[in-house]
A and B are shown apart, each in its own frame.
Chain A
Amino acid sequence: DIQMTQSPSTLSASVGDRVTITCRASQSISTWLAWYQQKPGKAPKLLIYKASTLESGVPSRFSGSGSGTEFTLTISSLQPDDFATYYCQHYKSFSETFGQGTKVETK
């Protein structure tokens, strides 16, 4: 099975900060990677797919990059609404696998 490892597990940041979250796959997954945002008590929301394609309606401060085994999610200028937990997911596979999540909290 392909394992997805996110880092860090928790990230403390302030409004306006540039934030970067990393997701590593245990083997190459091409660009079959998505990023989701989840707020407490809510279902996850798709942000980015195909590693770098922004879902419709998602603010342009979010961006994704990477291919193969290493991927990043970047928030260029953190906004109050962005404090949440972020998950990467390998999809279009035999077993769709999520990373363990990165919680972005207020510094």
Chain B
Amino acid sequence: QVQLQESGPGLVKPSQTLSLTCTVSGGSISSDNYYWNWIRQPAGKGLEWIGRIYISGSTKYNPSLKSRVTISVDTSRNQFSLKLSSVTAADTAVYYCALAGFWSGTLDYWGQGTLVTVSS
């Protein structure tokens, strides 16, 4: 069974770039059966899809975040990453990585989530 684990700094200063990595185990990130996604959730609030990447390198981003988001894949490490630039306190949230089936489209497997706080 595929497992995902987020990692990265828990504290980021305003105006800096948030960087997170999702390590995939039990499956290959090079598989053409999956999309690799990032989702976030501010405390006490709902889920917001950030974006996704396919092994071809093709990406789709939430239009509201598109200008600040980059998602990339590192096949050698079986990881994919999120970079969110020019962060503010509004970007404080639990960030999840998740796998979506290429054909199903649903978010079938999720990481446990990692809290990122934006504060000076």
Is there a chain B Cβ closer than 8 Å to A71's Cβ?
Answer: no
Contact of A34 among B37, B106, B111 (CB under 8 A): B106
Is there a chain A Cβ closer than 8 Å to B32's Cβ?
Answer: no
Task: Tell me which residues across on chain A come within 8 A of B100, comparing CB atoms.
Answer: 91
**Proximity string of chain B (76-120) to chain A, C-beta cutoff 8 Å, 1 when within and 0 when not:** 000000000000000000001010100011111011110000000
**Interface range for B:** 20 to 34
Q: Are B60 and A36 in contact (CB under 8 A)?
A: no
Contact of A46 among B48, B49, B108 (CB under 8 A): B108
B110 to A, closest residue via Cβ: A43
Task: Tell me which residues across on chain A come within 8 A of B105, comparing CB atoms.
Answer: 32, 49, 91-92
- Say how far A46's CB is from chain B's closest CB, in angstroms: 6
Contact of A44 among B52, B60, B63, B110 (CB under 8 A): B110
In angstroms, Cα B47 to Cα A100, docked, is 7
Is there a chain A Cβ closer than 8 Å to B15's Cβ?
Answer: no
- Say how far B111's CB is from chain A's closest CB, in angstroms: 7
- Say how far A52's CB is from chain B's closest CB, in angstroms: 13
* A-B pairs with beta carbons under 8 A, tally: 52
Within 8 A of B (CB), among A1-58: 1, 32, 34, 36, 38, 42-46, 49
Is there a chain B Cβ closer than 8 Å to A98's Cβ?
Answer: yes
Within 8 A of A (CB), among B4-58: 37, 46-49, 52
In angstroms, Cα B6 to Cα A43, docked, is 12
Task: Tell me which residues across on chain B come within 8 A of A91, comparing CB atoms.
Answer: 100, 105-107
- Say how far A44's CB is from chain B's closest CB, in angstroms: 6
In angstroms, Cα B107 to Cα A46, docked, is 7
Task: Tell me which residues across on chain A come within 8 A of B37, comparing CB atoms.
Answer: 96
* 5 A-B pairs closest in CB distance: A43-B110, A92-B105, A96-B49, A91-B105, A98-B47
